[in-house]
């Protein structure tokens, strides 16, 4: 199969994945509700009011994003497997990388929708300018980074009874560089004179690394 054909099939798969995600909203609705509830719990636990907000908010936002994102992606291939779609795709001439990229792009899009909605909500709740272009860029890069890795781990974790529980244990230690870079970049973007460039650079480096390694490793997991 040529690259163009793989690209066309990839787009079709992406489209099908989006339709499936739209039809079966339970997973994404649960992830969204989890994110909102966790944000509220953090605001009660840390008393996120007044001057403390700006210091604590980056850490709070990113832990909420990571936990809800990993829980949501844990089920990425579950339905495909139950319906026999995954087996059908495996025996088809479609390259495993195409299957992986289509699934990851779907996860990224769905998670970005949840995260942007959460940022909008947090802007209103904490009276902090969180819906700014620089922060949206940081969130987008960070989401691509952690979704690339967690989608791969969800695929390789598929055959386990305790897969849902094991995924955060497997994924979170690997995501430490992303968490540090994302929190620091977010923190810098909320301050007027701070320099976000080194952290965005580290974040981009991690994102490229995780996307490349996950794409290369997926065919071996098949």
Partner 1 sequence: MILNNIYELRWKVLPPAAGVAMIGMAALALITAPTEVVEGDVQRLLYVHLPSALASYFAFSVTAVCSVLFLLKRDFKWDSAAQGAAIVGLIFTLLTLMTGSLWGKPIWGVYWQWDPRITTTLILFLIFSAYLIARKSTSLDSDKSARFCSIYAIIGFLDIPLIHMSVRWWRTLHPQPIIAKLNPALPDEMLLVTLVSVLAVILVAAWFITLGIETELLSQRLLKLKAIGKANISEKS
Applying CB under 8 A, which residues contact partner 1? 149, 152-153, 156-157, 159-160, 162, 166, 169-170, 173-174, 176-177, 180-181, 184, 198-199, 202, 205-206, 209, 213-214, 217, 220-221
Helices 163-174 & 52-73 angle (0-180, nearest 10) = 130
Angle at 112 between CA 89 and CA 131, to 5 degrees: 170
Closest to partner 1 by CB, 9 vs 61, is 61
Closest to partner 1 by CB, 39 vs 60, is 60
3-state SS of 141-195 is HHHHHHHHHHHHHHHHCCCCCCHHHHHHHHHHHHCHHHHHHHHHHHHHHHCCCCC
Closest to partner 1 by CB, 98 vs 207, is 207
Give the residue among 165, 195, 160, 200 at the shortest CA–CA distance from 180: 200
Burial state string for 107-137 with b = 16 or more CB within 10 A and e = fewer than 16: bbebbbebbbebbebbeeebebebeeeebbe
Closest to partner 1 by CB, 35 vs 149, is 149
Q: Are 102 and 17 in contact (CB under 8 A)?
A: yes
Closest to partner 1 by CB, 96 vs 121, is 96
Kindly calculate the radius of gyration of the chain based on its CA atoms and give it in whole angstroms. 18
| Residue 170 Cβ vs partner 1, minimum distance, rounded to whole Å | 5
| Residue 169 Cβ vs partner 1, minimum distance, rounded to whole Å | 5
| Residue 156 Cβ vs partner 1, minimum distance, rounded to whole Å | 4
| Residue 104 Cβ vs partner 1, minimum distance, rounded to whole Å | 15
Q: Are 62 and 143 in contact (CB under 8 A)?
A: no
Closest to partner 1 by CB, 125 vs 156, is 156
| Residue 140 Cβ vs partner 1, minimum distance, rounded to whole Å | 19
| Distance (Å, whole) CA 216 – CA 166 | 22
| Residue 7 Cβ vs partner 1, minimum distance, rounded to whole Å | 25
Closest to partner 1 by CB, 48 vs 178, is 178
| Residue 27 Cβ vs partner 1, minimum distance, rounded to whole Å | 22
């Amino acid at each position: 199969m040529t690259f163009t054909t793989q690209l066309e099939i990839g787009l079709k798969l992406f489209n099908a994945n989006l339709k499936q995600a739209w039809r079966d909203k339970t997973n994404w609705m649960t992830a969204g509700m989890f994110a909102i509830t966790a944000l509220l719990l953090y605001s009660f636990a840390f008393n996120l009011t007044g001057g403390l907000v700006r210091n604590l908010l980056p850490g709070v936002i990113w832990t909420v994003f990571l936990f809800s994102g990993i829980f949501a992606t844990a089920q990425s291939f579950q339905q495909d497997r139950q319906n026999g779609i995954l087996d059908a795709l495996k025996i088809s001439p479609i390259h495993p990388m195409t299957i992986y990229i289509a699934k990851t792009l779907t996860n990224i899009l769905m998670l970005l929708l949840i995260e942007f909605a959460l940022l909008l909500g947090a802007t209103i709740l904490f009276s902090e300018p969180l819906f700014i272009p620089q922060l949206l860029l940081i969130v987008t890069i960070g989401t691509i980074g952690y979704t690339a890795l967690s989608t791969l781990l969800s695929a390789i974790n598929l055959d386990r009874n305790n897969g849902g529980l094991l995924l955060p244990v497997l994924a979170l230690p690997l995501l430490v560089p992303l968490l540090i870079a994302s929190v620091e970049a977010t923190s810098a973007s909320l301050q007027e004179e701070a320099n976000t460039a080194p952290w965005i650079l580290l974040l981009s480096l991690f994102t490229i690394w995780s996307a490349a390694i996950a794409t290369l490793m997926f065919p071996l997991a098949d």
